[in-house]
Structure 1
Amino acid sequence: MRDPSPWTPRFAAPPGTLCERLARAIAEDIDSGRLRRGARLPAHRRLAIALATSVVTVGRAYDLLERRGLVRGEHGRGTFVIGVATTPLASRLMDKVIRPEGVADLSLNLPPTMIPPEAFAEAVAALARDGRLPDPSRYPPCAGWPDLRAAAGAWIAAHRPSAPAEGVLLVNGAQQGIVVSLALAAEPGRPVITEAVTYPGALAAAALLGRPVVGVALDGEGMLPEALEGALTRHPGALIYLVPVLQNPTGATMGLGRRLALLDVARRHGVEVVEDDAYALLDEAAPETLYSLDPERVWYVNSFTKPLGSMLRMGVVVPPSGREAAAIRAIQGTTWTAAPLAAAVLGQWLGDGTAERVVRGLRAEAASRIAIARAIFPGLCPQGYRGLHLWLPLDEPRAERLARRAAAAGIIVTPPLAPVVDSDLAMGVRICLGSLPRESLARTLLVLRGLVEDEGECAAVV
């Protein structure tokens, strides 16, 4: 027979649905210490009978608690408390932070919503009125329609003057551009050399392609040239993957001197570089692109999804001189071509001024969110910073503990190991500023600040 649960069944006071009130009552008792780690919760049916409610309500409450990292169900054994107590600050603000679905999600590096969903339908309607919808019986060229390629290159170059305006190939988001570039920038099986923490999507692409990943040391400007030198000596023929502007996850931006130094190392070792410039449109003061400094060696990748929203999975890749045919074959071999309807909508938005308005609005919105973050985490958000993610350096045990305690408070941060290549060189927690409504961002960051202070990391954030 199972040991009885120590918990006295109750609902928390309104407001909220029954399952929300039940989940809140259990969370309050975990927070107060009345329910300790390892305590068993009542079986679903027994609790439903005790509270005169349904088994479905109990199940939904337990699911809500599990998503918040407070409990875990074990098949055949029951549901057990695994969460830890939150800070008093977190306790006071938790109910204000938690959204109806149960979490405040700071884990995804998405831009704030700048285009409502109906704008996509309006763009399609405008294309239909003008007879410019793609022919459903034909594929566009693998690299995209020539006039749209030219328009996309010109638009990016207008906002990023050192970006290439010629030789642009359209792809289904920067992620496909990364896959194409990583596939072709070195012989099969050669490693990818990148910072010790980097964009998780690039790690996924490397794994798909069967390329090992080597992490090297970085500082406030990104990858260290001497660390790259050592890695290339140990791994000849590797390729280099870099996010030079607002590096994901650390937010570092390389100065011109660092860029030249890294390219010099690459040139001496005869290897190619993949430049992921997806965040550069947020930073009007970003230094010259790596591509402009060495177009014979650099694969340039940029994104329209970051500024224009996830409904528009469009990006560009510009291969080094002489590599266009191979890149087009790689696009053909993956998705044949960029999605025609999305490409047509992109052309509409580039032509009617929507893209221009959105980028101006996004920069203003980012500035507002950065100001909120700077007031709460000034040490993570220096003057002049323009990114929509923050990086809190922590060793692995503290990073994992902070992530668990944040989940217990209903806040999801990026899993600490997601961007990690070498945890001995860099480790921490990424905090994304774009996905929450602005009005709840400050409250959520305040709760997170309280949790960080409990970890004894005040010096890192103030």
Structure 2
Amino acid sequence: MRRQSSWVPHLADGTGSPAERLAEALGGDILSGVLREDERLPAHRPLAWRLGIGVGSVTRAYALLERRGLVRGMHGRGTFVAVRPDQAGPMLDLATNMPPPMFGDRALARTLTRLAKHVDPGLFNVYPPVAGHLEHRRIMARWLAGMGIAVAPERLLLTGGAQQALNVAVHVARRHAAYAVVEAQTYPGMLGAMRQAGLEIRPASMDNEGMRPAALERILAGRRDRRAVVYLTPTMQNPTTATMTVGRRRDIVALCRRFDALMIEDGVYVHEDDPARPALMTLAPERTFHVSSLSKILSPGLRIGALIPPVGYAGDCLRALLASSLMIAPLSYAMMAQWMQDGTAESVRNALHAESVRRQALVLSVLGAWAVTPSCHAFHAWLPMPAEYAARVVAHAHRLGVTLPPPGMFDAGDGMRGGVRLAFGNVAFRALPEALGRVRQACARRAENVPHDMMAMS
């Protein structure tokens, strides 16, 4: 007798099509371990009847999951779970900021098989152009357009990840700016790039939207004789999760225009077109270096970034990119093109967004007032507290088996406020409640000593 599926049919919440919502529900249960490897999924017609959707929607949902390598179809037998969730290690890693895996082994094998049949050998037999093949730049431009970033392919430079794009932007901006202004808590990779370039760094204080315009104005007004470059992550800032409203973005742009400051916009956490949160590049294209990447919203292993420089700086950026001696592997180009053209990339991007929503809800339910409630979604959270308490929380969490980043690594130098960043994409979902519970225990040990105004308010 054929074994029946144990899965309880349901659709994920949201406004997507029935096929997308079914794929999201099944994919989440597969990756979180609710459905085990080799377990049979429900047959198409009974599942469609149970959910009140068309049989074609079930077929499309299963096809989406198969492209991601999460399920496999066996002719005459049905559809089965194809992956086994990763086992949690002895230490639970909440330090590494990366999304959870959304591609199974079968998806990767199928992609490589298709590429072996159809890829242009010329891509592998010559050095690629410094900024990437024009066709790949067109594909990336179309992808960015879906996230509200409009750019001609010829203006787009492909890079070996966001870090290389940031390094190029800093290198070029250094020739035109004497110092840098950054958010008081900011991405340590950028702090390292600026220090290596010899840029003096001035931290600007923050609120729940990120950099405060008044703080930026004081810094720029006090150095009118020196040009600045301002580094910002306006959406889901790392580490604090702050997101700027359109009003805040316009205020920052107005100040940079008034004082003729350049801007470097880190857009790696943008995953959709949101007119309420326009890119700084859209508001001030003449002075903004925009950086994007596939690693945070698609796959960490696909190390492809994008740099959109202001028109007057494109030539300098191209030369700096050439001097960096780091070009994208042709296979990465080919995989990017394949996934973007066959719909896999969009499916995975949507699935990751849904997973980030689910995980953020869990973080807030476990940590309560300790964690900031963000207005956007990614795979990190912020627990504000004085630096000395943050260091103790990190140390105690380590004794409890949870790895957290050193709190001082995000500090740009003002030393006024600190906190603990959690990165919750690198732990299997079924292990996440335990990891968060240990963090809560570490925080509770310092609760009596932490001033109430330093705790996050939901």
TM-score by length of 1: 0.74
**Helix, strand or coil at the partner of 2:409:** coil
Supply the AA of the counterpart residue of 2:169.
Answer: S
CA distance in 2, matches of 1:285, 1:439: 35
User: Is residue 335 of structure 2 the alignment partner of residue 345 of structure 1?
Assistant: yes
Q: Find out whether 1:446 has 2:434 as its counterpart.
A: no
CA distance in 2, matches of 1:390, 1:228: 25
1:80-119 alignment runs, 5 A limit: 101-116=89-104, 119=107
Displacement of 1:162 after TM fit?
4.1
The one-letter code matched in structure 2 to 1:389 is H
The answer to whether the 8 A contact 2:174-2:199 is kept is no
Q: Does 1:187 align with 2:178?
A: no
Q: Which amino acid aligns with 2:406?
A: P
Query: Distance between the aligned counterparts of 2:110 and 2:354, measured in 1?
Result: 24
Tell me if the contact between 1:245 and 1:254 (Cα under 8 Å) persists in the aligned partners: yes
Output the CA distance in 2 between the equivalents of 1:217 and 1:339.
40
Give the number of equivalent residue pairs. Answer: 363
Q: Does 1:127 align with 2:122?
A: no
Map 1:138-287; keep pairs closer than 5 Å.
138-158=126-146, 160-164=147-151, 166=153, 167-187=155-175, 190-235=178-223, 236-281=226-271, 287=277
Choose the corresponding residue for 1:307, options 274, 278, 297. Answer: 297
How far has the Cα of 1:387 moved from its partner? Answer: 2.7
Q: 1:354 aligns with which of 344, 350, 355?
A: 344
Residues in 1 aligned to 2:108 and 2:276: alpha-carbon distance in whole angstroms: 30
What amino acid does structure 2 have at the position aligned with 1:308? L
> Which deviations, in whole Å up to 9, do the C-alpha atoms of 1:68-95 show, x marking residues without a partner?
xxxxxxxxxxxxxxxxxxxxxxxxxxxx
Residue matched to 1:82: none
Partner of 2:393: helix, strand, or coil?
A: helix
- Displacement of 1:388 in angstroms is 1.6
CA distance in 1, matches of 2:121, 2:398: 45
CA distance in 2, matches of 1:461, 1:186: 36
The answer (yes or no) to whether the contact 1:124–1:133 under 8 Å persists in 2 is no
Following TM superposition, by how much is the alpha carbon of 1:133 offset from its aligned partner in structure 2, in angstroms?
A: 4.5
SS in 1 for 2:408: coil
Deviates more, 1:373-382 or 1:277-286: 277-286
Q: In the aligned structure 2, how far is the partner of 1:417 from the partner of 1:121?
A: 41
CA contact (8 A) 1:181 1:299 kept: yes
Counterpart of 1:208, as a letter, is Q
**Residues 180-205 of structure 1: per-residue CA shift (max 9 Å, x gap):** 11111242782221001101111121
Report the Cα distance in structure 2 between the residues aligned to 1:247 and 1:163, rounded to whole angstroms: 22
Q: Structure 2: 5+ residue runs without aligned partners?
A: 1-86
Aligned pair in 2 of structure 1 residues 134, 347: CA closer, same or farther (>3 Å)?
farther
Q: 1:383 Cα deviation (Å)?
A: 7.0
Q: Report the residue type matching 2:397 in the other structure.
A: A
Which residue identity does 2:229 align to in structure 1?
A: L
Q: Deviations over 1:104-138 (max 9, x none)?
A: 11011111111235544432331220142554331
304, 311, 336: which one aligns with 1:321? 311
C-alpha distance in structure 2 between counterparts of 1:188 and 1:298, whole Å: 13
Q: Which residue of 1 aligns with 2:34?
A: none
- CA, structure 1 residues 403+324, in 2 after alignment: closer, same or farther (shift >3 Å)? same
Distance change in 2, residues 1:117/1:449 (3 Å): same
| 1:400 partner amino acid | A
Distance 1:259 1:384, change over 3 A: closer
3-state SS of 1:323 partner: helix
Query: What CA distance in whole angstroms lies between the structure 2 residues aligned with 1:134 and 1:231?
Result: 51
Amino acid at match of 1:161: G
Distance across 1 between alignment mates of 2:426 and 2:283: 34
Could you say what secondary structure the match of 1:254 adopts?
A: coil
Indicate conservation of the 8 Å contact 2:387/2:417, yes or no: no
Deviation at 1:164, TM superposition (A): 3.3
Q: Give runs of ≥4 in structure 1 deviating > 4 Å.
A: 282-286
The verdict on how the C-alpha distance between 1:221 and 1:444 changes in structure 2, with shifts beyond 3 A counting, is same
Q: Report the alpha carbon displacement of residue 424 of structure 1 after superposing the two structures with TM.
A: 2.5
Q: Give the distance between the partners of 2:303 and 2:172, measured in 1 at CA.
A: 22
Q: How does 1:285-434 map to 2 (within 5 A)?
A: 287-335=277-325, 337-379=327-369, 380-382=371-373, 384-434=375-425
Q: CA RMSD in A?
A: 2.1
- Contact residue 96 and residue 426 of structure 2 kept, 8 A: yes
Which one is further off, 101-110 or 170-179?
101-110
The corresponding residue for 1:54 is none
The Cα offsets for residues 129-149 of structure 1, whole Å up to 9 and x where unpaired, read as 014255433111111111110
CA distance in 2, matches of 1:189, 1:273: 10
Once the two structures are TM-superposed, the CA of residue 310 in structure 1 deviates from its matched residue by 1.8
CA shift for structure 1 position 381? 4.5
Larger CA Rg, structure 1 vs 2: 1
How big is each residue's C-alpha offset from its partner over 1:274-329, in whole Å with a ceiling of 9 and x where there is no partner?
00000011785760000000100100100111122221100100001222211111
Once residues 150 and 367 of structure 2 are traced to their aligned partners in structure 1, the CA distance between those partners, rounded to angstroms, is 32
Q: CA 1:447 to 1:336, structure 2 compared with 1: closer, same or farther past 3 Å?
A: closer
